[in-house]
């Protein structure tokens, strides 16, 4: 082979390699570039953090904003799980993750030339580069009331929403964390046995206890298994085969109509109601309500855990009637049950973000009022509302009463095999024209009336206060 031929062959190989390298670079920049830039594990996002868009409350209060010192979270731990965090090391969570593509500076994130120029301060202006603003449905006043109430306990969660629209007014979980310090604290938080990174409002699964009597009463009334005039006898126990249902501390409520059974929260009576309803219709109404299916929500939420149809014996069905047996739900689910009664049988679709606002004036509605289902008739919802009003006026729910406001609610004390009972309360107000629905759970403390109802009362008061 001559020298010229060798040089020509080498030049050809060099040209092919150059073309392959060029093609690879074009693919990375044009085809894969946007996905790589948007990847929450891409450390380059940290270099662009000062251009990341803000997350704000419904009234414009800043919930997350970028500063020269990094990402700041003015409400701190009170909204940490829902707003989330943005970290070059640990990625993103909450709304920071769900709306990362919108919050990221789009022009810079997808253009390597602009990325390079921005490092030397030669890019577009801050306004041109900054990501969009995410406008949430959060009401800071309601959020403060909820978080302060929950913070009195080691582990608790709650959620408040507008039953007319499905807008989430407040959502909180304790223990919590400071999202601004996530890079320094993540490893410690991840090892903490209290699980502070767990969003109990969306991912905590609990037996609902007697708050589930809202569902049982609604299903039984709607199916015609009972009427408001039906009467029940509670002598302190009810035997089903070898299993005996008892009330808390072996109480006996005697003979009661449905309102009395509900207000006094008789497990014995609601075991009988569940048996009258029957397993087939119980599962039918669970399906109507969407139990066991993923919820349509802005953020991921745990799916309810139901027993299988084949496993439901009469004794298990009786326990399901008062929210026990193999049944686990989230606070979000229980808030929606209360909101369904409040909205006349329509189950509102919950959402946490109203809109995404761009710097050029565009605004993209992320969600609006909608319905998940209509599991019960409006007449049934009205009857259950009356039961819940009686519970607060003269039953176990009196600690949730507000002066001058008719509150509808239901207590729950859910048996927990691992320790003390979980305290629940589900409520809405005003009962005749509901504007706020709330669900609260406090882990391992005891009675719902003692621990959860006062928190719900505080949240309702904040939500119904002057606007």
Catalytic residues: 210
Q: Are 136 and 171 in contact (CB under 8 A)?
A: no
Q: Which string of b and e fits 82-120 if b means at least 16 CB within 10 Å?
A: bbbbbbbebbbbbbbbbbbebbbbbbbbbbeebbeebee
Integer Cα distance of 236 and 248 in angstroms: 9
β-strand 156-161 against 168-174: which pairing, if any?
antiparallel
**Per the structure block, which two tokens stand in for 122?**
């030669």
Strand partners, 356: 134, 364
Question: Which string of DSSP letters, residue by residue, matches 311-359?
Answer: G--HHHHHHHTTT-SS-BB-HHHHHHHHHHHHTTT-EEPPBSEEEEE-T
**Per the structure block, which two tokens stand in for 147?**
């978080």
Compute CA distances 199 → 119, 151, 205, whole Å: 36, 14, 10
Q: Are 38 and 101 in contact (CB under 8 A)?
A: yes
Integer Cα distance of 170 and 320 in angstroms: 29
């Amino acid at each position: 082979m001559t020298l010229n031929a060798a040089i020509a062959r080498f030049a050809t190989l060099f040209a092919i390699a150059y073309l392959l390298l060029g093609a690879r670079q074009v693919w990375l920049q044009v085809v894969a570039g946007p996905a790589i830039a948007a990847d929450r594990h891409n450390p380059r996002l940290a270099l662009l953090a000062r251009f990341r868009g803000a997350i704000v409350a419904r009234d414009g209060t800043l919930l997350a904003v970028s500063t020269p010192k990094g990402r700041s979270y003015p409400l701190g731990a009170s909204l940490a799980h829902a707003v989330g965090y943005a970290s070059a090391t640990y990625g993103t969570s909450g709304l920071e993750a769900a709306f990362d593509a919108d919050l990221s500076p789009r022009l810079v994130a997808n253009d390597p030339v602009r990325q390079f120029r921005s490092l030397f301060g030669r890019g577009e202006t801050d306004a041109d580069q900054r990501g969009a603003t995410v406008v949430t449905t959060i009401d800071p006043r309601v959020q403060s009331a909820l978080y302060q109430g929950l913070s009195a306990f080691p582990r608790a969660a709650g959620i408040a929403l507008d039953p007319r629209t499905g807008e989430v007014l407040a959502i909180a979980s304790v223990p919590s964390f400071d999202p601004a310090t996530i890079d320094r604290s993540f490893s410690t938080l991840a090892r903490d046995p209290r699980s502070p990174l767990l969003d109990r409002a969306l991912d905590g699964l609990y037996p609902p206890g007697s708050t589930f009597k809202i569902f049982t009463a609604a299903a039984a009334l709607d199916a015609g298994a009972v009427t408001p005039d039906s009467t029940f006898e509670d002598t302190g126990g009810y035997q089903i085969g070898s299993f005996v249902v008892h009330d808390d501390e072996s109480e006996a409520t005697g003979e009661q109509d449905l309102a009395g059974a509900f207000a006094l929260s008789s497990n014995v009576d609601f075991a009988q109601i569940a048996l009258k309803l029957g397993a087939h219709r119980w599962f039918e109404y669970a399906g109507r309500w969407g139990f066991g299916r993923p919820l349509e929500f802005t953020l991921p939420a745990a799916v309810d855990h139901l027993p299988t149809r084949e496993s439901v014996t009469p004794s298990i069905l009786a326990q399901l009637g008062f929210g026990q047996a193999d049944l686990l739900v989230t606070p979000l689910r229980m808030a929606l049950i209360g909101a369904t009664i409040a909205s006349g049988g329509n189950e509102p679709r919950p959402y946490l973000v109203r809109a995404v606002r761009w710097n050029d004036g565009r605004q993209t509605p992320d969600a609006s009022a909608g319905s998940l289902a209509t599991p019960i008739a409006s007449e049934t919802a009205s009857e259950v509302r009356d039961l819940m009003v009686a519970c607060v006026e003269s039953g176990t729910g009196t600690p949730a009463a507000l002066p001058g406001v008719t509150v509808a609610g239901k207590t729950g004390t859910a048996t927990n095999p691992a320790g003390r009972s979980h305290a629940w309360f589900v409520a809405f107000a005003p009962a005749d024209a509901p504007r706020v629905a709330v669900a609260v759970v406090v882990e391992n403390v005891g009675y719902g009336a003692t621990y959860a109802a006062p928190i719900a009362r505080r949240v309702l008061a904040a939500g119904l206060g002057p606007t």
